[in-house]
Amino acid sequence: MKKTRYLVLGLGNYGRSWAYVAAKNPEGELVAVVDRSEEALALVDLPVAKYTDLDTAVAEQKPDVVILVLPPHLHIPVARGLMEKGITVLCEKPICSDLKEAADFTAWCAEQGRPCGIAENYRYRPVMRGAKQLLLDGVVGKIRRVNCRFTHYHPDYSMFYHGSLKHPLLNDVTVHHLDLARYLTGAEPLTVTCTEHGAPHCWYQQRPASAEIASEMTEDIFFAYNGTLASPVSTTDWYGDWEIMGDKAVLRICGTTVTLYTAENEKQVWEFPDGGDTRAPLLSGFIRALQENTFCESDIRDNYKTFRWMQTAAQSAECGEEIKL
Ligand SMILES: NC(=O)c1ccc[n+]([C@@H]2O[C@H](COP(=O)([O-])OP(=O)(O)OC[C@H]3O[C@@H](n4cnc5c(N)ncnc54)[C@H](O)[C@@H]3O)[C@@H](O)[C@H]2O)c1
């Protein structure tokens, strides 16, 4: 089968490493990298064409796919422009920073019958895939409650776009955790209550770098979240620590380990070592879906539900009330 030709657009903190992930994928061919900054282009040491202008890159390289790694406010206008030219987009999370803009774009993709992949990579970590299978096998029985705790030290990123996010924790990181909660449970949020807190002891100052979220979900599941980017130490990894409590047992996900605690106080342990960058299986799944003329697991059609949950949590924090989704 013909290899999918793609280019990586945006070579900042994250896009640079995306170029190397994309270059290694055997199912695709990285044909070019694009960034408006010559400096950013110079930092990519790969034998591919380099452009400062997207239109020129597209005209000369005729890619099937653009992997879009620009700051979020550019995602939708750039994705839509590319899709109107017949190019498929795999876009970094979050799709944007506005719920209506995301809803309109999702509806537009549906009208066009076109895919738009969102690079929601956390659910591709082997430990999450392994835990999901155990949950599907029924090891905890009926899921009743899910707790996620995330405690991370985030260095001063105030000079990057991250520094201007209105809800830095929710917009940038919690969006991954909410996606994991949907993925692990197969349930959808029904309500959300969120409180946020500033972090005057660090560079976030009054900006909300910590949050608690409570949500009722379908299947009679309760979700509780406690996260911060402003801890002086990182006590969880980026994926957070999880407890999934069922009526038979509790499943804990911590690092690459899954532990099942049964009612009899016995435990069973599984290891799911990391197998490299989670963007590799994500990109493979995206390419396979394209070749099979279908939608990848984290297409905007699905990912919009994660984004809406996150944005509604931010609204709840602003108005101080529970919101129904
Ligand atoms: N999935 C994850 O775990 C993860 C982790 C980090 C970042 N991200 C996402 O990746 C995206 C990019 O984040 P980042 O930290 O790399 O951002 P960044 O600000 O470091 O980099 C953005 C790059 O885009 C370039 N750029 C901006 N406007 C452009 C334009 N019009 N044309 C061409 N180039 C342009 C800039 O020169 C810069 O090199 C964000 O959506 C972020 O949420 C995801």
- For residue 208, the domain's CATH number is 3.30.360.10
Q: CB of 12 closer than 6 A to ligand 1?
A: yes
Q: Are strands 143-151 and 241-246 parallel, antiparallel or unpaired?
A: antiparallel
Asked if residue 180 and residue 153 are part of one domain, the reply reads yes
In a domain, 200, yes or no: yes
**CB within 8 A of 104, min separation 6: which ones?**
none
Q: Domain total for the chain?
A: 2
Domain coverage including residue 90: 4-121+279-298
Please check whether residue 58 lies inside any domain of the structure.
yes
* Contacts for 19-23: CB closer than 8 Å, 24+ residues apart: 19/44, 19/46, 19/48, 20/46, 21/277, 21/279, 21/280, 21/283, 22/67, 22/283, 23/48
* Atom 29, ligand 1: residue with shortest CA distance: 36
pLDDT at 321 over 80: yes
Q: What is the pLDDT of residues 156-182, one digit of tens each?
A: 888 888 888 999 999 999 999 999 999
- Is residue 316 located within the same domain as residue 169? yes
Ligand 1 probe mutation, 69, 95, 160, 279, most atoms within 8 A of CB: 69
**pLDDT tens profile 181-194:** 999 999 999 999 99
Average pLDDT score over the chain: 96
Is residue 162 included in any domain, yes or no? yes
Whether residue 303 lies inside any domain: the answer is no
Q: Are residues 239 and 132 in the same domain?
A: yes
Virtual CA dihedral for 164, 122, 112, 9, nearest 10 degrees?
60
245 and 132 in a common domain: yes
| Cβ of 93 less than 6 Å from ligand 1 | yes
Q: Are residues 266 and 283 in the same domain?
A: no
Q: Is the CB of 52 under 6 A from ligand 1?
A: no
Which residue is closest in CA terms to ligand 1's atom 27? 70
Question: Where residue 137 falls among pLDDT bands split at 50, 70, 90?
Answer: very high
pLDDT value at position 262?
Answer: 92
Single pTM value for the model: 0.97
124, 127, 129, 218, 300 from 132: Cα distances, Å: 11, 8, 5, 17, 21
Assigned domain for 293 exists? yes
Whole-number Å distance between alpha carbons of 228 and 216: 21
Same domain, 238 and 320: yes
In sign, the C-alpha dihedral spanning 313, 318, 322, 324 is: negative
Is residue 106 lining ligand 1, measured as CB closer than 6 Å?
no
In a domain, 49, yes or no: yes
| 63 and 19 within one domain | yes
Q: What is the mean pLDDT of residues 277-298?
A: 96
pLDDT in tens, 16-68: 999 999 999 999 999 999 999 999 999 999 999 999 999 999 999 999 999 99
Q: Do 287 and 319 fall within a single domain?
A: no
Asked if residue 166 and residue 223 are part of one domain, the reply reads yes
Q: pLDDT value at position 233? A: 84
Task: Please tell me the predicted confidence (pLDDT) of residue 162.
Answer: 81
Q: Give the CATH number of the domain where residue 78 resides.
A: 3.40.50.720
Ligand 1 contact via 160 beta carbon (within 6 Å): yes
Between the alpha carbon of residue 147 and those of residues 184, 268, 320, the distances in Å are 12, 19, 21
In the block, which residue shows the tokens 């537009």?
Answer: 108
Cβ of 238 below 6 Å from ligand 1 = no
The answer to whether position 229 is within a domain reads yes
For residues 245 and 147, membership in a common domain is answered with yes
Residue 201 binned pLDDT confidence (cut-offs 50, 70, 90): confident
Q: From the CA of 215, how far away is ligand 1's center (Å)?
A: 30
CA-based nearest residue to 180, from 261, 257, 120, 135: 120
Question: Distance (Å, rounded) from C-alpha 262 to C-alpha 140?
Answer: 8
Note whether 7 and 67 are within 8 A (CB).
Answer: yes
Place of tokens 């529970």: 322
So what's the pLDDT on residue 161? 82
Is the pLDDT at 281 greater than 90? The verdict is yes
Domain check: are 146 and 213 in the same one?
yes
Does ligand 1 come within 6 angstroms of the Cβ of 153? no
Is 80 exceeded by the pLDDT of residue 258? yes
Please give the distance, rounded to the nearest whole angstrom, from the Cα atom of residue 318 to the centre of ligand 1. Answer: 27
Residue among 253, 303, 249, 305 nearest 91 (CA)? 303
Question: Who has greater pLDDT, 206 or 215?
Answer: 215
Supply the residue whose CA is at minimum distance from atom 38 of ligand 1.
12
| Size of the chain in residues | 325
| Residue 109 maps to a domain | yes
**Which pairs from 25-30 meet CB under 8 Å and 24+ separation?**
25/280, 25/283, 25/284, 25/287, 27/3, 27/284, 27/287, 27/288, 28/3, 28/4, 28/65, 28/283, 28/287, 29/3, 29/4, 29/5, 30/6
Q: By alpha-carbon position, which residue is closest to atom 11 of ligand 1?
A: 69
Both tokens assigned to 51 = 């452009």
Residues 158 and 28 in one domain: no
